[in-house]
């Protein structure tokens, strides 16, 4: 279990199958009997054979205080377990969003002219991702550079989510396409939405935990013509664009329905895990004739 750090010996180590028995080549003893005409599997072995670990805990050096049997860092009320390896804090997205708001607010209070003073979605995202990862992924980058860097794979710790697409010609409610993004945020995953408009404007946001809310009605708020209540419910995002600073707001407030159709989504996934894909739409393997 110490991966060679300490001298160890296991009674049931080096077990091989010989006929209908499991034989230990170190102790020269039969340690288990298999049922007649069965194969080597956990279902046919005795508990003393299958109860031992087959390899060291891969995070033993990182978390020496944890038993291999722990769940969610022994704090299941505060933490969740995303992949069976280490605890994750679902509230960390909210605290990192506050860090983004604080950084953008400080930026906007400075004496900048024109769009620099109003639009700071890139600054908010920089603060939020640093609060979540403790790394300066997008430091000094404008929204355009972040968008192009994510698309090109420059930021290798971010993986493009290819299973969520909003049809560009969609009419009415789009919540069926966007719900997985809210689910990912609620499970503690850091997801970025990046888009560009026909006018050449770029915009970036990140999703935060919460309940999907009704899209902004443009007639009531006079924000943008492309935003309307007919979109249905949409996920919550942290955004510091030119409409203001929002630690949690429906994504259509600053993106708009037509812009969402062109938005691409990226998940922070430095370990290249696949567990998050369980929350995405499952592809239908049946071919339509």
The pLDDT, as a whole number, for residue 8 is: 55
The pLDDT, as a whole number, for residue 117 is: 45
Residue pair 267/161 in contact by the 8 Å Cβ criterion: yes
- The list of the chain residues with pLDDT below 50 reads 12, 38, 111-117, 285-289
Model pTM? 0.68
- For 94-279, CATH gives 3.90.1720.10
Sheet holding 29-33, edge to edge: 15-18, 21-24, 29-33
The pLDDT, as a whole number, for residue 115 is: 43
Q: Read off the pLDDT of residues 210-256 as tens digits, 9 standing for 90 and up.
A: 889 887 665 555 555 556 667 788 899 998 876 678 888 888 776 67
The pLDDT, as a whole number, for residue 220 is: 54
Residue pair 23/29 in contact by the 8 Å Cβ criterion: yes
Ranges of CATH 3.90.1720.10 domains, the chain: 94-279
Q: Give the Cα-Cα-Cα angle 239, 243, 249 (nearest 5 degrees).
A: 40
Q: Read off the pLDDT of residues 22-39 as tens digits, 9 standing for 90 and up.
A: 888 888 888 888 765 545
Report the alpha-carbon distance of residue 30 to residue 22 in Å, rounded.
6
The pLDDT, as a whole number, for residue 169 is: 64
The pLDDT, as a whole number, for residue 252 is: 78
């Amino acid at each position: 279990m110490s991966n060679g750090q300490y001298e160890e010996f296991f009674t049931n180590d080096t077990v091989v199958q010989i006929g209908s028995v499991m034989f230990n080549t170190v102790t020269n003893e039969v340690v288990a009997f298999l049922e007649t005409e069965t194969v080597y599997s956990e279902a046919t072995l005795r508990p003393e054979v299958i109860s031992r670990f087959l390899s060291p805990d891969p995070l033993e050096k990182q978390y020496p205080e944890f038993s291999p049997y722990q769940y969610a860092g022994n704090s299941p009320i505060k933490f969740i377990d995303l992949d069976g390896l280490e605890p994750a804090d679902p509230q960390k997205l909210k605290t990192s969003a506050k860090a983004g708001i604080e950084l953008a607010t400080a930026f906007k209070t400075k004496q900048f002219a024109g769009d620099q003073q109003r639009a700071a979605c890139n600054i908010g995202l920089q603060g939020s991702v640093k609060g979540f990862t403790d790394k300066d992924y997008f430091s000094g980058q404008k929204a355009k550079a972040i968008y192009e860097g994510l698309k090109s794979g420059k930021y290798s710790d971010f993986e493009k989510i290819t299973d969520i697409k909003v049809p560009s010609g969609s009419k009415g409610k789009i919540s069926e396409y966007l719900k997985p993004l809210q689910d990912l945020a609620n499970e503690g995953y850091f997801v970025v939405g990046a888009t560009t408009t026909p006018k050449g404007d770029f915009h970036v946001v990140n999703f935060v935990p919460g309940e999907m809310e009704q899209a902004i009605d443009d007639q009531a708020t006079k924000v943008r013509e492309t935003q309307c209540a007919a979109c249905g419910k949409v996920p919550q995002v942290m955004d510091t664009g030119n409409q203001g600073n929002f630690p949690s707001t429906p994504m259509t407030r600053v993106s708009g329905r037509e812009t969402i159709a062109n938005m691409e989504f990226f998940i922070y996934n430095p370990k290249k895990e696949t567990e998050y894909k369980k929350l995405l739409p499952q592809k239908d393997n049946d071919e339509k004739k």
